[in-house]
RNA sequence: GCCGAGGUAGCUCAGCGGUAGAGCACACGACUCAUAAUCGUGCGGUCAUGGGUCCGAAUCCCAUCCUCGGCACCA
């Protein structure tokens, strides 16, 4: 049976580059999962895009003297290049400033309004007369009403830690220009989250066995703590206009529309593919499984808010009353990744930026290490010393060296072709049987989104091939009994041919190279490309995945004797210990 | 303060009711096809602390100590 799998990946906020925390939290796990399912033959749709709206982008734009659109387009372009380089295989990585996204987000708003899940209410907010705009809480500072500290932010006091309401600040002033804001009433639409509690909680409990415990606990507390309505509109200029008469000056709140991107990007992908209804296979077929790959900071947005929006809309762009939009099947949220024991901090530049690390290291070693320390169950740590160790002592020594020693020996002694094994002995059959169980055991881990365990299992199998090579006769008898050596070398080649597939979701670039070295013509995976799409008024760039040449399959291969090998070359490089100090020294240094 | 996670071999972690595990490091041995890679053996832990439940507890319960994260309008 062919599975239908939607891989929804958190939308990166386009006001800064991606770092390894983003990679570990969402993009890499999603890509590993998607690549596995593609190999398995599942129908995969993997989408994401740049989140281009919201106040932080307008603030960044003011700082640079640019428009918000210029700011987000700059980072969007960087996201495309970075993710292409590290091999995140989106079927579509678009952004939220497309006409498609605007239109659908507005239709979602209208549907929620029609179904009576939106209500109006007034809020009192701080307004800057000099800047002529409402100020987000965190852009106001003043004296803390609790401890008297003068530098308290509108949302929280840094000295006493109290959570504040910006309206309670004494002597509030704008962080931007220091002017005192006034209090103004403003009317907004609110999403009635409380109306969904009696459907969200049972849905959660029905999935509690499968979902990660941290996701379940957090969501349960969140819902049982009482769901309040949340405003879905804002008084800013940058964003999607509210589709309601008289409200054209207001915008949809970014949290409200960004999560809809999973849906809107699916529709865009279908449109771009020339099959405009194709998205329905993932969003209306009850057998389809939607996985949201996100970081833990995003849990309530996906297990509560986004699900409420889907329940509230119920059905869109379809007349069949028996259909209902699918809710996420799983939300495998990851925890956070620290760097050298400390939290990521953009302001202190305590981070490992992806464009930077990719300029000095190959993508697969980065993918390998980040998978090994992926924060699946608790916060983890990116350590340069550990990166070097795992690269040298695990990736190179166990796997890279295995492939290299077997290929080199085969190439040298059998004129560059795969030798004919003759009859396999028990020792050979045992090894091949063991390796082939990997498609089951590694697959089960991947299926359950236990990616560290899956990779560990696959590397463990590579280790078993080294054990086999220690026991079977080959280099010592190649001169006396070449036929026996051929049996061993063929068996080892066949083992690495299978390991190439088992490791491909994690290490796509080097598996592809090994595939070539083994003499195959067809690539395992398709290509990740940057493409341009024109709408009525605007054109946008996106990442797309072209699977037309992909031939990899999640199943034991049948390496043919006589197949011509390519001249062998190592898959990986050892790293010198000196890079540890060099890389650590970069941390915390101001960027240019 | 509230909620949550974690405290297991030198290091990084798995195990989560049935005689303490892996990788790396270290020691010794084997081997030389391979990126001084590989393979084997060994060393190494009163599983944070104190109580409790149980025939039996890293594994369940209670308390204590320590570390870390989150606390909804920074998406």
CA of A555 to C1' of B20 (A): 36
**Cβ(A377)–Cβ(A109) under 8 Å?**
no
Token pair in block for residue A419:
């030798």
State the Cα–Cα distance between residues A203 and A220, nearest whole angstrom: 11
**Which nucleotide lies nearest residue A304, CA to C1'?**
B72
- Looking at strand B, which nucleotides approach a protein CB closer than 7 A? 1, 3-6, 11-15, 23-25, 31-35, 37-40, 68-75
CATH T-level topology, domain A362-520+562-579: Isoleucyl-tRNA Synthetase; Domain 1 (1.10.730)
| pLDDT higher than 90, residue A588 | no
Q: What is the CA radius of gyration of chain A?
A: 27
Residue with nearest Cα to nucleotide B11 C1': A386
CA of A292 to C1' of B5 (A): 21
Using the Cα atoms of residue A159, residue A162, residue A168 and residue A172 in order, give the sign of their dihedral.
positive
CA of A499 to C1' of B41 (A): 28
- Secondary structure of A385-433 in HEC code, one letter for each residue: HHHHHHHHHHHHHHHHHHHHHHHHHHHHHCCCECCCCCCCCHHHHHHHH
**Which nucleotide lies nearest residue A341, CA to C1'?**
B68
Calculate mean pLDDT across residues A151-159: 67
Instruction: Give the pLDDT confidence of A56-112 residue by residue, as tens digits.
Output: 888 788 888 899 999 999 999 999 999 999 999 999 999 999 999 999 999 999 999
| pLDDT higher than 90, residue A147 | no
Exposure letters A539-567 (e unless 16+ CB within 10 A, then b):
ebebbbbeeeebebebebbebeeeeebbe
According to DSSP, the residues that pair with A291 across neighbouring strands are A7, A330
* CATH homologous superfamily of A4-116+198-228+257-334: HUPs (3.40.50.620)
Instruction: Give the pLDDT confidence of A444-482 residue by residue, as tens digits.
Output: 999 999 999 999 999 999 999 999 999 999 999 999 999
Residues of chain A with CATH 3.40.50.620: 4-116+198-228+257-334
Residue whose C-alpha is closest to residue A385's, from A571, A583, A572 = A583
What is the pLDDT confidence band of residue A316, given thresholds at 50, 70 and 90?
Answer: very high
pTM: 0.95
| pLDDT higher than 70, residue A27 | yes
User: Which ipTM was obtained for this model?
Assistant: 0.93
**Which nucleotide lies nearest residue A476, CA to C1'?**
B33
State the Cα–Cα distance between residues A92 and A530, nearest whole angstrom: 10
* Mean of all residue pLDDT scores within chain A: 92
State the Cα–Cα distance between residues A574 and A558, nearest whole angstrom: 31
A95-99, A249-253, A275-279: least confident range: A249-253
| pLDDT higher than 60, residue A16 | yes
Q: Within a 10 A sphere around the Cβ of A214, how many other Cβ atoms?
A: 16
Q: Do the strands A4-9 and A289-293 form a parallel or antiparallel pair, or are they unpaired?
A: parallel
pLDDT of residue A162: 62
CA of A47 to C1' of B2 (A): 37
Q: Contacts for A214-219 with beta carbons within 8 Å, 24 or more apart?
A: A214/A296, A214/A299, A214/A333, A214/A335, A214/A377, A215/A299, A215/A303, A215/A331, A215/A332, A215/A333, A218/A296, A218/A299, A218/A300, A218/A303, A219/A299, A219/A300, A219/A303, A219/A304
pLDDT of residue A163: 62
Q: Within a 10 A sphere around the Cβ of A341, how many other Cβ atoms?
A: 8
State the Cα–Cα distance between residues A589 and A480, nearest whole angstrom: 61
| pLDDT higher than 80, residue A168 | no
pLDDT of residue A218: 85
Residues of chain A with CATH 1.10.730.10: 362-520+562-579
pLDDT of residue A398: 96
Q: What percent of chain A has pLDDT over 70?
A: 97
pLDDT of residue A592: 53
| pLDDT higher than 60, residue A244 | yes
**Which nucleotide lies nearest residue A139, CA to C1'?**
B74
Instruction: Give the pLDDT confidence of A169-226 residue by residue, as tens digits.
Output: 788 888 777 888 888 888 999 999 999 998 998 898 888 888 888 888 888 888 888 8
CA of A386 to C1' of B11 (A): 9
CA of A379 to C1' of B67 (A): 12
Instruction: Give the pLDDT confidence of A336-390 residue by residue, as tens digits.
Output: 898 888 888 887 888 899 999 999 999 999 999 999 999 988 888 899 999 999 9
State the Cα–Cα distance between residues A410 and A418, nearest whole angstrom: 7
**Cβ(A312)–Cβ(A196) under 8 Å?**
yes
């Amino acid at each position: 049976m062919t599975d239908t799998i939607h891989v929804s990946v958190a939308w990166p906020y386009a006001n800064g580059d991606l770092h390894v925390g983003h990679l570990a939290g969402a993009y890499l796990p999603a890509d590993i999962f998607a690549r596995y399912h593609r190999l398995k033959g599942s129908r995969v749709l993997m989408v994401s895009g740049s989140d281009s709206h919201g106040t932080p982008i307008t603030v960044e734009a003011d700082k640079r003297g640019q428009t918000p659109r210029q700011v987000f387009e700059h980072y969007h372009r960087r996201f495309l290049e970075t993710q292409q380089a590290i091999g995140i295989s989106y079927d579509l990585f678009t952004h939220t400033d497309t006409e498609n996204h605007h239109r659908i987000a507005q239709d979602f708003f209208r549907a929620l309004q029609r179904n009576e899940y939106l209500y109006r209410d007034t809020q009192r907010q701080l307004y800057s007369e000099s800047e002529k705009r409402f100020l987000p809480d965190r852009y106001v500072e003043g004296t803390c009403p609790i401890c008297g500290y003068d530098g308290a932010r509108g949302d929280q006091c840094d000295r006493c830690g109290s959570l504040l309401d910006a309206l309670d600040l004494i002597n509030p002033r704008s962080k931007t220009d220091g002017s005192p804001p006034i209090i103004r009433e403003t009317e907004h639409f609110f999403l009635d989250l409380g109306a969904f509690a009696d459907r969200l909680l049972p849905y959660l409990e029905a999935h509690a066995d499968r979902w990660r415990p941290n996701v379940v606990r957090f969501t349960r507390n969140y819902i049982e703590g009482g769901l309040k309505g949340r405003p879905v509109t804002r008084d800013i200029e940058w964003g999607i206009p509210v589709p309601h008469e008289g409200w054209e000056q207001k915008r949809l709140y970014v949290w409200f529309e960004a999560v809809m991107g999973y849906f809107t990007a699916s529709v865009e992908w279908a449109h771009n593919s020339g099959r405009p209804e194709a998205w329905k296979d993932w969003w209306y077929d009850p057998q389809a499984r939607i996985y949201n790959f996100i970081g833990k900071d995003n849990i309530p947005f996906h297990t509560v808010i986004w699900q409420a929006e889907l329940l509230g809309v119920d059905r869109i762009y379809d007349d069949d009353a028996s259909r209902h939009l699918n809710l996420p099947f799983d939300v495998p949220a990851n925890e956070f990744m620290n760097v050298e024991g400390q939290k990521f901090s953009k302001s202190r530049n305590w981070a490992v930026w992806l464009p930077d690390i990719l300029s000095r290291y190959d993508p697969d070693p980065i993918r390998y290490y980040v998978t090994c320390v992926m924060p699946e169950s608790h916060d983890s740590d990116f350590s340069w010393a550990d990166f070097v160790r795992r690269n040298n002592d695990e990736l190179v020594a166990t796997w890279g060296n295995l492939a290299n020693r077997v290929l080199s020996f085969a190439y040298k002694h059998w004129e560059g072709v795969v030798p004919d094994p003759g009859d396999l002995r028990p020792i050979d059959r045992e090894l091949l049987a063991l390796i082939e169980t990997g498609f089951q055991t590694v697959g089960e881990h991947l299926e359950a989104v236990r990616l560290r365990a899956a990779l560990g299992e696959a590397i463990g199998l590579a280790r078993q091939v080294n054990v086999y090579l220690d026991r079977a006769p080959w280099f010592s008898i190649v001169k006396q009994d070449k036929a026996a050596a051929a049996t061993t070398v063929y068996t080892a080649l066949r083992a690495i041919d299978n390991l190439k597939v088992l490791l491909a979701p994690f290490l796509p670039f080097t598996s592809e190279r090994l595939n070539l070295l083994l003499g195959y013509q067809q690539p395992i995976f398709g290509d990740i490309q940057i493409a341009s799409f024109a709408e009525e008024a605007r054109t946008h760039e996106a990442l797309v995945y072209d699977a037309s040449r992909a031939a990899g399959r999640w199943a034991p291969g049948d390496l043919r004797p006589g197949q011509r090998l390519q001249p062998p070359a190592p898959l990986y490089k050892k790293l010198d210990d000196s890079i540890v100090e060099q890389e650590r020294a970069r941390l915390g240094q101001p960027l240019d």
